[in-house]
Chains A and B, each alone.
Chain A
């Protein structure tokens, strides 16, 4: 286990050290101590390493992650795992706005709640939130899956493209062009797999599925009120 103390090590040095790890590295386990809400911790990683951040972070923790598993024992600020490509990011606490924004792959697990715009513009990432999510989540979501074990706020899935949304609790309101859809067996299978990978004990049949009505895909003056 390699250890980096952010109270004595500059952010640049910490990120450079983690970014320097290659596929075949022997230093596969890292611990970051004293993050103290610092921004841009463990960003741009590209190796199959496991990084545990002991504490809470600021903005963009694990941004653009590839391959790595980043585990934050506290809560995270805005934009955790933004534009993640692959790998896994696990947050034990809560996540602020834009969690998983524009993510293109990988799995983001938030064991607490996620604030507004969770999964905004998601492009293939899978996000599993054990708690609730805030308003405008999955706005313009293009691909991937957003699983919410609690409740969803206002305007879920506004202007949604092809991302799949699964919510176990209530949805305060659906956004423009987002509708409830039939939960077919293949969706239950996707959900079961995601819940298992996230380590969350929940029954897929308790969830409802939401997706795009695809009515805003091409401009129509009769839909102008929805734009």
Chain B
């Protein structure tokens, strides 16, 4: 209660937790424009994540390896189940699928350069394969998406692996979106669409529905490519146990599992923030599905969505993943949301670290744009070098942790190396709450 009588003690104004300032601003924006908020990136809300896990390190019961002296292997082979030519990577950190169209040609080239220099793979996106990307990527995964933009058998055979995209973490159950301002002449030609229109990608594949069809689709792709290259199946984090099991049943060599922190070029904010599971909640069910089928490590699991550091890499691998994929972090390494563009972010009504209007094509860093002048700001050689450095640092960090836990290969990290800081993380990761031998849902615990 407030009163105008200043002689009486006043209550302080209290902001509503329910109708917070950001919520109220969104209500006003929706009322003014009549359109939902569209943005890029992944979930920004706080969810249980790798930060909620800690490594225990070595002790009397386990002895560590000497840093810089004793080898800690980082190599990983993806696609060992059926492909004649599995992908062999020097590091277990790959670059996730991002389209030419969503990103500039320079950015795609930089991703290829950086990934190749670090000995890992990069991935096309919802717009086909560009010559620059193929030319600068020693290992390129070709996405097979519902839209089939630019899809052709020649590129299919040029790929080192094929990734059948069923969904992604930012918008599981949703299709793609590339707004008209980013449909340049070249993008329009690659996608067989008129210039300047809003390009909507379907959420379902046009010629198959369900796991039985998927098995036949994978057969067709293998027949076209001579069973040479691995077939990945990418799913968003929704029902990871069953989706993993069904992807494996359909014949996948590799399952790519993307949690809700995984980014997108553009979709509705309400979709990004309210649909799907946190990455942390996805890994153990997926691993259990592989173990139940007797195929853990034979069908590889690649986890993505919010991977930022070598610690995240190590934690994902300890929980059972074979490799991780990064998207948003790779863009930041190239120069996205760099403070040097703060003045321009301010002009766009945002600030460094918060810029997510990737769909508008006005990215000051020249990454999420098709504007020739903005795109020219990104030097693909220098940006590729930054990405390579970042990938190397992540790998060194993961190795540091693995050695400290006594492992001579990153894949030897295991759940027993971890504990959780919160009940939620303990339940999701199925590792003990720190200082206990218990986690919610532990078999036999009664809880």
Q: Which residues of B contact A102 (CB under 8 A)?
A: 148, 151, 206-207
Q: Which residues of A contact B192 (CB under 8 A)?
A: 104, 123-124, 142-143
Interface residues of A in 50-74 (CB under 8 A from B): 58-60, 63-64, 66
Q: Which of A27-35, A40-48, A146-154, A202-210 lies at the binding interface? A: A40-48
Q: Which residues of A contact B226 (CB under 8 A)?
A: 16, 19
The distance in angstroms between the C-alpha atoms of A78 and B206, with both chains bound, is 11
Instruction: Verify if B13 is at the interface (C-beta below 8 Å from A).
Output: no
Q: Which residues of A contact B151 (CB under 8 A)?
A: 83, 102, 104
Instruction: Verify if B34 is at the interface (C-beta below 8 Å from A).
Output: yes
Min Cβ gap B216→A in Å is 5
The distance in angstroms between the C-alpha atoms of A161 and B202, with both chains bound, is 13
Q: Which residues of A contact B191 (CB under 8 A)?
A: 142
Min Cβ gap B98→A in Å is 21
- Check B217–A60 contact: CB distance below 8 A: yes
Min Cβ gap A86→B in Å is 10
Q: Which residues of B contact A40 (CB under 8 A)?
A: 216, 219-220, 223
Instruction: Verify if A184 is at the interface (C-beta below 8 Å from B).
Output: no
The distance in angstroms between the C-alpha atoms of A63 and B196, with both chains bound, is 31
Interface residues of B in 199-225 (CB under 8 A from A): 200, 202, 206-208, 213, 216-217, 219-220, 223-225
Instruction: Verify if B27 is at the interface (C-beta below 8 Å from A).
Output: no
- Check A218–B194 contact: CB distance below 8 A: no
Instruction: Verify if B147 is at the interface (C-beta below 8 Å from A).
Output: yes
Instruction: Give the residue name and chain of the A residue nearest to B152 (CB).
Output: A85
Instruction: Verify if B35 is at the interface (C-beta below 8 Å from A).
Output: yes
A142-B193, A221-B34 known; A82+B207 contact, CB < 8 A = yes
- Check B216–A85 contact: CB distance below 8 A: no
Instruction: Verify if B23 is at the interface (C-beta below 8 Å from A).
Output: no
Instruction: Give the residue name and chain of the B residue nearest to A222 (CB).
Output: B34
The distance in angstroms between the C-alpha atoms of A40 and B251, with both chains bound, is 15
Instruction: Verify if A166 is at the interface (C-beta below 8 Å from B).
Output: no
Q: Which residues of A contact B353 (CB under 8 A)?
A: none
Question: Looking at the complex, which one of A46, A98, A121 makes contact with B153 (CB distance below 8 Å)?
Answer: A46
Q: Which residues of B contact A15 (CB under 8 A)?
A: 223
Min Cβ gap B173→A in Å is 16
The distance in angstroms between the C-alpha atoms of A218 and B199, with both chains bound, is 8
- Check A11–B35 contact: CB distance below 8 A: no
- Check B148–A83 contact: CB distance below 8 A: yes
Question: Looking at the complex, which one of B152, B180, B223 makes contact with A218 (CB distance below 8 Å)?
Answer: B180
The distance in angstroms between the C-alpha atoms of A79 and B207, with both chains bound, is 6
- Check B216–A101 contact: CB distance below 8 A: no
The distance in angstroms between the C-alpha atoms of A153 and B33, with both chains bound, is 37
Instruction: Give the residue name and chain of the B residue nearest to A217 (CB).
Output: B197
- Check B216–A66 contact: CB distance below 8 A: no
- Check B220–A121 contact: CB distance below 8 A: no
- Check A117–B206 contact: CB distance below 8 A: yes
- Check A44–B207 contact: CB distance below 8 A: no
- Check B194–A217 contact: CB distance below 8 A: yes
The distance in angstroms between the C-alpha atoms of A76 and B197, with both chains bound, is 35
Interface code A124-142, partner B: CB below 8 Å = 1, 0 otherwise? 1000000000000001101
The distance in angstroms between the C-alpha atoms of A206 and B367, with both chains bound, is 52
A12-B227, A217-B194 known; A59+B213 contact, CB < 8 A = yes
- Check B206–A98 contact: CB distance below 8 A: yes
Min Cβ gap B380→A in Å is 29
A83-B148, A123-B192, A221-B35 known; A140+B202 contact, CB < 8 A = yes
Q: Which residues of B contact A46 (CB under 8 A)?
A: 153
List 30 A-B pairs, Cβ < 8 Å: A12-B223, A19-B226, A44-B223, A44-B224, A59-B217, A59-B220, A60-B216, A64-B152, A64-B224, A66-B153, A79-B207, A79-B220, A82-B206, A83-B153, A98-B207, A101-B206, A104-B152, A104-B192, A117-B206, A120-B206, A121-B148, A140-B200, A140-B202, A142-B191, A143-B192, A162-B194, A217-B198, A218-B196, A219-B198, A221-B35
Interface of A with B (CB < 8 Å)? 11-12, 15-16, 19, 39-40, 43-44, 46, 58-60, 63-64, 66, 78-79, 82-83, 85, 97-98, 101-102, 104, 117, 120-121, 123-124, 139-140, 142-143, 159, 161-162, 217-219, 221
Inter-chain pairs besides A12-B227, A82-B206, A83-B151, 13 sampled, C-beta below 8 Å: A39-B219, A40-B220, A58-B216, A64-B153, A78-B208, A79-B220, A83-B152, A117-B206, A120-B207, A123-B148, A162-B194, A218-B198, A219-B198
